[in-house]
Amino acid sequence: MNESATDPAQPIPEPTPEPAPPAQQETGGRGARESASSTGGWRLVLTLVLLAALAVVGWQWYDNRNRIESLRTELAQRLRSSDSAADESRALAKQALESAREAQGKLSVLENKIAESQSQQMALEALYQELSRSRDEWALAEIEQMLTLASQQLQLAGNVQAALLALRTAEGRLARTDRPQFLGLRRVLNRDIERLKAAPSLDITGMALRLDQLIASVDTLPLHFDERSLAAPRQGAAVAPSGSWPRVLAEIWNEIKQLVSIRVTDQPDAALLLPAQSYFLRQNLQLRLLDARQALLARDPVRFRSDLETARAWVARYYDTRAKSTSAALNSLKQLAASSINVELPAIDDSLAAVRNFKVSREKAAR
């Protein structure tokens, strides 16, 4: 290379100005120096300003770029996190939707059960109200039935104890309810209870049972002609003759003696009946006792005593009075005939009418 060639690394030398005249050179040099110095100052200031502006612009650009990059990075992170959150939200939403569907199904089942339970509760409430309304009616109906049976027992059988027990049970039933509207009814029941307590005791049922026992024992009572203790013993053990003809004659004689029987009794007027007639005697005696039983239940003292006296006369005439069963039957007939069945027993019609009137008044009030 030539020496004149410039090294790119070396600065290019400025052209040397031509020397000016001395006077002009002094004044011109001072002005030129002032102008050059002023121009160089301005250039330096402008350069510094430009450099500062460039530096500020570059710094702002760099800072903005960093900020943009950081914003991009943060935005990307946020987008990624939002995507993951969205995925999780979708999964949770799906799970929540499934849970909501399951809950909806369970809710519908619960609603059906609640509706069913409400309907059952309403039915139970209606039934309870119906039962509570009809509880008094049931109690009154039961008391009326009880008093009706007691009145029948009192009128037909004269069973004072059964009627008294029915009245006490009815009064206790009303007392347990503790209703003020039952006070009048309880007062009537207590009045009939006191009347039954003061009534004479008449055991119609016991007398009817004694008559039943007599009727059943008629077939076993011994008759007069059934006695075998007073009859002559048979001589069947006599020694027969040795020969055949004498033995035959002895048997014929024994048969002839059986045709006639002589019996000795203590009563000369005892009725001796044929065996065929004893059946009708027992049947007639049973009919008499049955008629006496009907008269007892019907409270007919005249017919009752008449039948018993007739039956006692038949037993004393046709039956063996020395037997224990016959004596017991005669004593029973005598005691029954002496019993008085014409006893005025108080009725419980007042209590029965009070219960029925109370029911009618309640029914009218309910309408």
334 and 219: one domain?
yes
Average pLDDT over residues 209-230: 77
334, 312 contact by CB (below 8 A)? yes
Residue type, 159: N
Residue type, 366: A
Is residue 129 assigned to a domain?
no
pLDDT at 36: 59
Give burial (CB, 10 Å; 0-12/13-18/19+) of 70: exposed
Over residues 126-180, the pLDDT tens digits come to: 776 666 566 777 778 888 888 888 888 777 767 777 788 888 888 888 888 777 7
Is residue 24 assigned to a domain?
no
Domain of residue 325, residue span:
203-227+270-342
Say which residue the tokens 């900020």 belong to: 67
Is residue 54 assigned to a domain?
no
DSSP summary character for residue 253: H
Mean per-residue pLDDT over the chain, rounded: 75
pLDDT exceeds cutoff 50 at 220:
yes
211 and 188: one domain?
no
The count of structural domains within the chain is 2
Is residue 70 assigned to a domain?
no
Is residue 2 assigned to a domain?
no
332 and 298: one domain?
yes
276 and 316: one domain?
yes
pLDDT above 90 covers a percentage of the chain that reads 4
280 and 362: one domain?
no
335 and 352: one domain?
no
Is residue 13 assigned to a domain?
no
pLDDT exceeds cutoff 60 at 215:
yes
Backbone torsions φ then ψ of 342, nearest 5 degrees: -90, 65
195 and 298: one domain?
no
Is residue 170 assigned to a domain?
yes
Q: Is the pTM of this model over 0.75?
A: no
Residue type, 196: L
User: Alpha-carbon distance 337 to 316, whole Å?
Assistant: 15
352 and 288: one domain?
no
pLDDT above 70 covers a percentage of the chain that reads 74
pLDDT at 309: 92
218 and 307: one domain?
yes
Is residue 248 assigned to a domain?
no
Bigger pLDDT: 299 vs 98 = 98
Average pLDDT over residues 99-123: 85
352 and 301: one domain?
no
Nearest to 320 by CA among 184, 227, 218: 227
pLDDT exceeds cutoff 60 at 11:
no
191 and 288: one domain?
no
336 and 353: one domain?
no
